[in-house]
C-alpha cells in the first residue's frame, strides 16, 4: 500500500506576492510584517534573508540589520485570494488536498501511475503552472508520507523539487537536526541537545527509555517518525476547534475601561467570524499578556452555545473586570471554543435572541458590501479608535 504525497510550499510567499505586483520591489530586500512599535517579521524576501532577517524576528531588529530594506504591512486579503488561486491549481491534480496555511498544502497523489508514471512529474507540472499562471515560485517535496514530503520541500528551497524514494528514508533523515521533527520545537530540541542528541540519526539509535523520557505519550509515534514512518492521512475536510482574535497594544493598557472597550471590539470580530462560518460556541476564553510577558488565560463555559457579540462580550467583560492586574496589559485576546455547527433551520436561541441574530447578520452583510465603517454600534460611536 504505497503512497505518494506531495508537499507544496511557496517561497517567501507574502514578500513574493508584493514583488510580483510591484516590479520596483524585485531584487530588493522586502520585509512584510507589523510596522508598529511591537511588530514582528512575517515574511522576508530572499534578498532580505541575506541580511539575517527571518520570520518572527522583531521589526526593530530587522530595521537595524537592513536599514535600506523595504518594509511593508502586507495585505492579508490579497494573500487569501492568491492562496485560493494556488488551491485551484492543486485541485487539478488531486482531490485529496490538505492546506496547512495560506502558502502550503499536502496532496495525496497515490494511484495516479496510469496518468503520471512518476509522482515528481506532477510536482513539476504544479510548479510550472504556479510560475506561469501566478508568477510565483513554489518548492515541492515528493515522498511516501507527509513528514518526509514536508522536509523534502524545505530541503530544496527556493524553487526546489526534492524526491525521497522509498528505501531512502533513513539516509535522508540521518543528518537533519532533531528540531525538524514534527512536534520538536525549541524547548525539546534544547533538552535533546543537552543530552548529546543533535541529529535525527542520533535519536534513531537511542533506546525506548530515551523516547519515553523526552516524548511521554508521543514516544511511539516519535520512534516511527525518526525512521521515516508516518501513516497520517491527507485530510481535506477541516472542522475548526476554536476561533479567536487578539491584539497587542502599542502601549500597555492600564485602565480597565479601555480594556473593556477592546473586549467589545474583539467580541464583535469573533462573533462575526463565527456567524460567517455558521458556528456557535460555548466556551469564551480571555487571554491577557502582562507587561512582563507573563500570559494568563481565564475561561468560562456557557450553558448554551452562542455566536452573539454581546454574549461573548458579557463573559469577557466580567472576566476582565474581576481580575486584579498589578501590571500593564500588552495583549488582549478573546477566543471561543467548544464549537459546533449552527443549524439555520432550527432556532437554538430564544425569540429575542433570534431577532438579535437576524439584526447582527444584516449588519454583517452591510459591512461586507459597504466596508467595515459602514455601520457601528452606538456603544462604539466616538470610540472607534478601538475597532
Partner DNA sequence: TCTGGGGTCCTAGGACCC
- Applying CB under 7 A, the residues found at the interface with DNA are 34, 37-40, 42, 55-56, 58, 60-61, 64, 100-101, 103-104, 150, 181-189, 216-218, 240-248, 273, 282-283, 285, 292-293, 295-301, 330-331, 333, 335, 338
| Closer residue to DNA, CB minimum distance, 236 or 299 | 299
C-alpha grid cell, residue 4? 505518494
* DSSP code string of 298-333: EEEEEEEEE--HHHHHHHHHHHHHT---SS-EEEEE
User: What are the catalytic residues?
Assistant: 104
CB atoms within 10 A of CB 124: 15
Helices (H), the chain: 13-21, 46-49, 59-65, 76-90, 119-134, 146-155, 169-174, 186-194, 200-205, 208-215, 219-226, 256-276, 309-321, 351-370
* Residue 315: CB minimum distance to DNA, A: 10
Cα 306 to Cα 206: distance, rounded to the nearest angstrom:
49
* Residue 79: CB minimum distance to DNA, A: 11
* Residue 109: CB minimum distance to DNA, A: 20
User: Among all chains, which residue has been given the C-alpha cell 513554489?
Assistant: 138
CB 309 within 8 A of CB 353: no
Query: Between β-strands 161-163 and 295-306, what pairing exists: parallel, antiparallel or unpaired?
Result: unpaired
Instruction: Give 96's strand partners.
Output: none
| Closer residue to DNA, CB minimum distance, 58 or 201 | 58
CA neighbor of 310 nearest in space, from 355, 277, 345: 355
* Residue 187: CB minimum distance to DNA, A: 3
| Closer residue to DNA, CB minimum distance, 186 or 378 | 186
C-alpha grid cell, residue 13? 510567499
| Closer residue to DNA, CB minimum distance, 56 or 378 | 56
* Residue 37: CB minimum distance to DNA, A: 6
Instruction: Give 33's strand partners.
Output: 41
| Closer residue to DNA, CB minimum distance, 121 or 252 | 252
* Residue 64: CB minimum distance to DNA, A: 5
| Closer residue to DNA, CB minimum distance, 110 or 177 | 177
CB 20 within 8 A of CB 5: no
C-alpha grid cell, residue 323? 481580575
* Residue 194: CB minimum distance to DNA, A: 13
| Closer residue to DNA, CB minimum distance, 116 or 318 | 318
C-alpha grid cell, residue 356? 438579535
Cα 190 to Cα 265: distance, rounded to the nearest angstrom:
39
Cα 159 to Cα 309: distance, rounded to the nearest angstrom:
45
CB atoms within 10 A of CB 30: 26
Amino acid at each position: 500500500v504505497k503512497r505518494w504525497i506531495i508537499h507544496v510550499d511557496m517561497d517567501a510567499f507574502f514578500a513574493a506576492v508584493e514583488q510580483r505586483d510591484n516590479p520596483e520591489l524585485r531584487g530588493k530586500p522586502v520585509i512584510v510584517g507589523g510596522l508598529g512599535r511591537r511588530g514582528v517579521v512575517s515574511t522576508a524576501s530572499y534578498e532580505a534573508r541575506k541580511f539575517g532577517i527571518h520570520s518572527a524576528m522583531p521589526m526593530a531588529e530587522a530595521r537595524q540589520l537592513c536599514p535600506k530594506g523595504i518594509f511593508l504591512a502586507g495585505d492579508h486579503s490579497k494573500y487569501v485570494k492568491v492562496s485560493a488561486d494556488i488551491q485551484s491549481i492543486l485541485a487539478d491534480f488531486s482531490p485529496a488536498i490538505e492546506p496547512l496555511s495560506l502558502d502550503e498544502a499536502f496532496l495525496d497523489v497515490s494511484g495516479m501511475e496510469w496518468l503520471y508514471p512518476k509522482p515528481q512529474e506532477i510536482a513539476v507540472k504544479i510548479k510550472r503552472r504556479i510560475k506561469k499562471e501566478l508568477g510565483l515560485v513554489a518548492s515541492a517535496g515528493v515522498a511516501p508520507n507527509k513528514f518526509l514530503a514536508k522536509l523534502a520541500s524545505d530541503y530544496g528551497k527556493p524553487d526546489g523539487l526534492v524526491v525521497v524514494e522509498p528505501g531512502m528514508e533513513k539516509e535522508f533523515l540521518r543528518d537533519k537536526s532533531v528540531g525538524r521533527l514534527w512536534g520538536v520545537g525549541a524547548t525539546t530540541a534544547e533538552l535533546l541537545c543537552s543530552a548529546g542528541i543533535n541529529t535525527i540519526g542520533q535519536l534513531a539509535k537511542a533506546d525506548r527509555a530515551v523516547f519515553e523520557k523526552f516524548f511521554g505519550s508521543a514516544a511511539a509515534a516519535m520512534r516511527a517518525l525518526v525512521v521515516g514512518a508516518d501513516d497520517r492521512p491527507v485530510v481535506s475536510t477541516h472542522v475548526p476547534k476554536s476561533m479567536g482574535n487578539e491584539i497587542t497594544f502599542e502601549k500597555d493598557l492600564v485602565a480597565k475601561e479601555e480594556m473593556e472597550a477592546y473586549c467589545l471590539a474583539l467580541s464583535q470580530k469573533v462573533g462575526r467570524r463565527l456567524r460567517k462560518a455558521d458556528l456557535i460556541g460555548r466556551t469564551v476564553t480571555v487571554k491577557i499578556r502582562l507587561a512582563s510577558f507573563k500570559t494568563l488565560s481565564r475561561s468560562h463555559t456557557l450553558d448554551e452555545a452562542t455566536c452573539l457579540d454581546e454574549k461573548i462580550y458579557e463573559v469577557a467583560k466580567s472576566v476582565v473586570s474581576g481580575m486584579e492586574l498589578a501590571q500593564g496589559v500588552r495583549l488582549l485576546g478573546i477566543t471561543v471554543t467548544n464549537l459546533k455547527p449552527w443549524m439555520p433551520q432550527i432556532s437554538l436561541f430564544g425569540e429575542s435572541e433570534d431577532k438579535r441574530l437576524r439584526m447582527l447578520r444584516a449588519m454583517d452583510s452591510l459591512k461586507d458590501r459597504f466596508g467595515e465603517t459602514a455601520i457601528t454600534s452606538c456603544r462604539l460611536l466616538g470610540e472607534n479608535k478601538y475597532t
